[in-house]
Amino acid sequence: MNLIERISRLISANINHLLEQAENPELMVKQMIRDMEGSIIELRREAVRAVARVKQIDQQIKTAGTTAEELEKFAKNFLKKGEEEKAREILSKKLHTVRAQETLEKELVNAREVAERLKSDLARLEDQVQSARRKKEELIRRKQLAEADLRSQKAARKSSDIIKTSTETVSGGVVGESKIADYENEVVFLESVAETERELLKDDIKKELDLQKLSEESAIEEEMERLRKDL
């Protein structure tokens, strides 16, 4: 496939339609962008050449026009001198130059058309690649949102399964809420045990303090007895 055919195909491509038919739209649009960018490089090169060709032909036409004017002057001079053969020879060269100039002018028209078409195709293709880039970004965003939604659904499904497991019937239709009640009873029991431990600890502390008080009182009485004896 030559450049023009490939460019035409890319420019006329309906990106949305192609992506709808693609198994992997994101991968396909990335490939399209690569193809377009490669074609843009080639097309820009051809457009530059076409513009340069227009300038070259235009310069050749100007040169031919100048040459034709100079040849006519030479022919007039020879004719004034009576050298008609020389004048005819110079006019023959002028005629060939003028015909070449006319041919160049036709070529210039075609060259300008080609250059304009290439520049137009280049602009359209650059628009297409920008559109494809926007489409790629859109697909990436949609993919990220879809993945986030999928993760959310999985998390919701997992939560639902946990709730379902905790409330499903067990052995002959006993509702799973009894499991929750059993767990609550166990917690209440543990709380009671903890409260009992606290009460026992308080009693132990009280007894320890009472013993310390008795010990102190006994020591004081012994000191009192010793003092009485001294007196």
Asked whether residue 139 falls in the same domain as residue 203, the answer is: no
Higher pLDDT among residues 137 and 113, named by residue: 113
d(CA 121, CA 114): 10
Asked whether residue 201 falls in the same domain as residue 162, the answer is: no
Distance of CA 172 to the CA centre of its chain: 57
Average pLDDT value over all residues in the chain: 75
Which pLDDT value is given to residue 167?
55
Which structure tokens are listed for 112? 């300008």
Among 123, 140, 167, residue at a domain's last position: 167
d(CA 118, CA 54): 13
4-57: per-residue pLDDT in tens? 555 555 555 555 555 555 566 667 777 777 877 887 888 888 889 999 999 999
Asked whether residue 97 falls in the same domain as residue 33, the answer is: yes
Asked whether residue 47 falls in the same domain as residue 154, the answer is: yes
**In the chain, which ranges are continuous DSSP H helix?**
3-12, 15-21, 25-80, 84-167, 177-230
86-135: per-residue pLDDT in tens? 889 988 999 999 999 999 999 999 999 999 988 888 888 888 778 777 77
Asked whether residue 153 falls in the same domain as residue 193, the answer is: no
pTM of the model: 0.51
Count of domains forming the chain: 2
For the residues 137-155, what does the mean pLDDT come to?
Answer: 74
Asked whether residue 96 falls in the same domain as residue 117, the answer is: yes
Instruction: Name the residue range of residue 31's domain.
Output: 3-167
